[in-house]
Structures are given as structure tokens and as C-alpha cells.
Amino acid sequence: MVILLFWETMINNQLEQSECDEHPGKLQLTRMGVGHREQLNPKPCCYPGCTRFYAGTGFSKYCLEHRKREYHKPVKKIRIDNINMCYDHNDIKSTDLELTCSLKGCKNIYKVKILPGVHIYPKYCELHRNAHKREIFLNHTI
């Protein structure tokens, strides 16, 4: 019953159904593309507990619902070194952010491009990203 509904919805979504050349009497479902025909097979979703079938090609494993980011495994916490800082954000687009150098006595402002999904950014300005240069700056300011 589920597979019949699946095939009906696939045909209604402007997909072409034709007889398979390799296996006479069987129907194949293809999606029309520019310059190629891609065969779509009814595949069960591999997400635990999901019983849906979807039109899949190649190595696809999940239905459209379970391909969303909220169903992905949580990312492990990354260890932050002394030279980096963690900047938590929920931005979808990349933005530019101006930060002040965290080195004692340095007031330089530097720009960082905030990217979605990235939370580790440099703590120091371009002049003090090297540990040797930070030591020289701290020795001269004392």
C-alpha cells in the first residue's frame, strides 16, 4: 500500500514512468534532467524508527525530513587552545566582525569573518598571532 502511494506521488511530481529496457514488463521511474536521465528508486529511510519511502538515487540514505540539520548527530566539543577563542553564534550567513586584540596592552582592532557552523576564531590581532611576537611585545611594554 505504501509503495503504491509512493509511485502515485512520484508520477504526479512530473516524473516519467516507462518500461525498463533491461527487465521487460517492469516499470522504471526516471527524472528528466538536462542531458541525462537519472533513475529514481523507492528506498526506505535509514533513520531509526522512520518507515517512509522516498525517491532515492545513488548513495542517498535518508528521506527529505531526516536530511535536515536538526537530525544530524551533535558535534563533539572542540578543545580550545590559548591562542583561539570560542564565539558562539547562530548566524546563517557569513558576516564580518571587528574584535579587539586580547593581548595585555594591545588595542589593535582586527576583522574576522564569522562563518555559519564555525565557532573557533583567533584571539589576537595579525601582529600577535605568533607566540614569539607576543613575548617580544610583552617584554617591550614592561
pLDDT digits (tens, 9 = 90+) for 70-114: 888 776 666 666 778 888 888 889 999 999 999 999 999 999 999
Q: Is the pLDDT of residue 65 over 50?
A: yes
pLDDT digits (tens, 9 = 90+) for 37-61: 667 778 899 889 999 988 887 788 8
Predicted confidence at residue 141, as pLDDT, reads 76
**Burial category of 55 from C-beta neighbours within 10 Å (exposed 0-12, middle 13-18, buried 19 and up):** buried
Share of the chain above pLDDT 90, in %: 20
49: left (phi over 0), alpha (psi -120 to 50) or beta: left
